[in-house]
């Protein structure tokens, strides 16, 4: 891989910015300063040091975002800001699955298409857990109906899901393994209730980091990436 491409890929800016870095003699390969942007690198064996720090090659990047309201789960949109705007990195990342514009919470952004497919494919049945608030209290029969499957307004029967909460409360969490359009909102609507707040708190074995305020993000740890792959 060309060194300018490698450095841009590893987050050191645009190709133009990376060229400046090279020109300023800030980059070493195997102990020797490299200034040529076309220098050919073996990403597996060459040791690259930028400003004194080693840069290891990452084939893919993975971020956890606490999605705030008002952002669409897309890479581009003509009307609204996108979740990708919140994670300004020099990689072509995309959101894994979608949260509605008014839904908050755990969203993964990556450039790893295989993992994205694994997490969103209905066949894999990866659990997604949401915290919800409703306009009306939960009733006894809501639990059994969600457990067996709910007939939505378009006649679709949802897969068995889990409702965690108490009869009489207007909040709780729900665990689903599919991701139909507005699924949680439509499930509650079929039970005669309106979701007034929705936040995703878990995908498979990955829990939203409660240190992240809405709009904040961080890279996943190697352990968390493994957890997702095994979810
Ligand atoms: N279900 C919904 O209704 N909305 C979301 O954003 C996610 C799940």
Ligand 1 centroid to Cα of residue 198, in Å, is: 7
Q: What residues in the chain have per-residue pLDDT under 70?
A: none
Domains of the chain: 3-55 (3.10.290.10), 62-122+205-229 (3.30.70.580), 128-203 (3.30.70.1560)
Please, is 28 exposed, middle or buried when counting C-beta atoms within 10 Å of its C-beta (0-12, 13-18, 19+)? middle
Q: What is the pLDDT of residue 203?
A: 97
Ligand 1 pocket test: which of 132, 183, 194, 199 has the largest number of ligand atoms within 8 Å of its C-beta? 183
Q: What is the pLDDT of residue 160?
A: 96
d(CA 84, CA 163) in angstroms, rounded, equals 31
Ligand 1 centroid to Cα of residue 93, in Å, is: 21
Task: State in Å, rounded, how far the first CA of the chain is from the last one.
Answer: 32
Active-site hit among 100, 102, 135, 169:
100
Annotation marks residue 169 as catalytic:
no
The tokens describing 207, both together, are 């829990």
Average pLDDT in the chain = 96
Q: What is the pLDDT of residue 14?
A: 87
Q: Which atom of ligand 1 is nearest to the CA of 99?
A: 6
For ligand 1, atom 4, which residue shows the shortest CA distance?
Answer: 182
pLDDT digits (tens, 9 = 90+) for 142-158: 999 999 999 999 999 99
């Amino acid at each position: 891989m060309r060194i300018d491409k490698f450095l841009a890929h590893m987050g050191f800016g645009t190709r133009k910015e990376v060229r400046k870095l090279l020109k300023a003699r800030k980059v070493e390969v195997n102990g020797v300063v490299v200034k040529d942007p076309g220098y050919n690198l073996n990403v597996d064996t060459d040791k690259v040091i930028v400003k004194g720090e080693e840069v290891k090659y990452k084939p893919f990047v993975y971020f956890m975002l606490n999605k705030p309201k008002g952002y669409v789960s897309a890479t581009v949109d003509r009307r609204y800001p996108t979740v990708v705007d919140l994670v300004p990195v020099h990689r072509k990342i995309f959101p894994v699955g979608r949260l509605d514009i008014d839904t908050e919470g755990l969203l993964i952004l990556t450039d790893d298409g295989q993992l994205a497919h694994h997490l969103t494919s209905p066949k894999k049945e990866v659990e997604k857990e949401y915290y919800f608030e409703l306009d009306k209290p939960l009733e006894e029969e809501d639990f059994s109906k969600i457990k067996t499957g709910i007939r939505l307004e378009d006649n679709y029967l949802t897969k068995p899901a889990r409702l965690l909460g108490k009869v009489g409360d207007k909040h709780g969490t729900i665990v689903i393994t599919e991701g139909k359009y507005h699924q949680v909102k439509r499930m509650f609507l079929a039970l005669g209730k309106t979701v007034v707040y929705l936040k995703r708190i878990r995908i498979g074995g990955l829990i939203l980091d409660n240190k992240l305020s809405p709009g904040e993000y961080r890279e996943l740890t190697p352990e968390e990436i493994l957890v997702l792959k095994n979810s």
